[in-house]
Amino acid sequence: MSDLLERLRGRGWRMTAQRRVVAEVLDGDHVHLTADEVHARAVSRLPEISRATVYNTLGEMVSLGEVLEVSTDRRAKRYDPNAHQPHHHLVCARCGAIRDVHPA
């Protein structure tokens, strides 16, 4: 089971198929996907998932403090599942890719 799924279950969050897929898509190191990217990946796993469900699920995960919402200059918001380890974000000026940088 992924770290994000474990954390969400530990909080007693009801795990529907849609929520599970969104959490699975977000899981991993250096993951900073936009909501549209999350939706596109989620659809490949669960074709009936709607864009609204993805946006609502991301909003709930942010409200719970299990996912961070990352905004960079004039770019779409991105979602970071690395919500419990102190880190900074390094943003590529060319492509906009975001990487976690840990203080150590």
Domain residue extents for the chain: 3-101
- In CATH, the architecture of 3-101 is Orthogonal Bundle (1.10)
Q: Tell me how many degrees the CA angle 79-19-31 measures, rounded to the nearest 5.
A: 25
pLDDT per residue, tens digit, the chain (104 aa), is: 468 899 999 999 999 999 999 999 998 766 788 999 999 999 999 999 999 999 999 999 999 999 989 887 777 888 998 887 777 877 888 877 778 777 87
Strands 78-80 and 88-91: unpaired
Instruction: Please provide the size of the chain in residues.
Output: 104
Integer angstrom CA distances of residue 37 from 43, 46, 57, 101: 10, 14, 14, 22
Q: What is the pTM of this model?
A: 0.84
